[in-house]
Amino acid sequence: MILSDVDILDRIESGDLVVEPLDDLDLQIQPASVDLRLGREFLEFQRTNISCIHPNSEREVEEYVEETTVEDNGEFILHPGDFVLGTTHERVEIPPDLIAHVEGRSSLGRLAVVVHATAGLCDPGFRGKITLELSNLGTAPVALTPGMRISQLTFTELTTRAERPYGTDRGSKYQDQGGPQASRIQGDREFGGDQ
């Protein structure tokens, strides 16, 4: 079952579902979703002369990204073909009986801006700001302004609560993230990590 605006507001008011700060309920609560705003931090992928990135090399991943923070009243220009990691302004906490789906807003999609490549799911138990995988598929640069509504979350109720929700007990890599996070895939078991 997908939560309606009534269900979402009930869950938020009870404290079971956290989306904060919600500065304008009338604007941000949609019929079956919550609009999230763009944060100020971005991780830009550098065009370097390396032959490739090895996912199991934390050093290579860190060398490939550069953090940018947009000043107050500034904007981030997303050029055609660019891929950057952004973050939501809001922090969320997903209860163990829900999953949240990160979706783009159709108004930005019509400008060829997409908000996720593959990571469109927030697991039950996830806490933190959401990293957005921003791409410009169009032919013109698009100015993104921190504070603008950039994405939306829909919520699906599970048939039973997750027995092993996302979180520190599972060693979840992105729990409590406070901004965009580069890949931590090198922590996966197949690369010698414990996850």
Structure tokens given for 150: 């950039």
Distances (CA, A) of 144 to 38, 41, 76, 140: 8, 12, 5, 13
Kindly name the residue from 58, 60, 133, 157 that is annotated as catalytic: 133
* Domain contains 57: no
User: Residue 13 sits in a domain of what CATH number?
Assistant: 2.70.40.10
Residue 176 confidence (pLDDT)? 83
> 3-state class of 24 per DSSP?
coil
* Domain contains 161: yes
Domain of residue 103: give its range: 5-46+64-178
> 3-state class of 59 per DSSP?
helix
* Domain contains 54: no
* Domain contains 190: no
Binding positions are: 105-110, 123, 131-133, 152, 166, 173, 177
Which runs of E-coded beta strand occur in 33-75? 33-37, 41-45, 65-69
Q: Which amino acid is at 130?
A: I
Mark whether 75 is an active-site residue. Answer: no
Q: Report the run of H or E that residue 146 belongs to, with start and end.
A: none
* Domain contains 169: yes
- Model confidence pLDDT, tens digit, residues 152-180: 999 999 999 999 898 877 778 888 889 88
Binding positions for dCTP are: 105-110, 123, 131-133, 152, 166, 173, 177
* Domain contains 98: yes
* Domain contains 189: no
Query: What pTM, to 2 d.p., does this model score?
Result: 0.90
Asked if residue 185 has pLDDT above 80, the reply is no
Backbone φ and ψ of 72, nearest 5°: -55, 135
* Domain contains 145: yes
Average model confidence (pLDDT) across the chain? 90
Could you tell me which residues are beta bridge partners of residue 129? 91
CA pseudo-torsion sign 106, 109, 115, 118: positive
Per the structure, the count of domains in the chain is 1
- Model confidence pLDDT, tens digit, residues 61-92: 777 788 999 998 999 999 999 999 999 999 99
Sorting pLDDT into bands at 50, 70 and 90, what band is 30?
very high
Q: Report the run of H or E that residue 193 belongs to, with start and end.
A: none
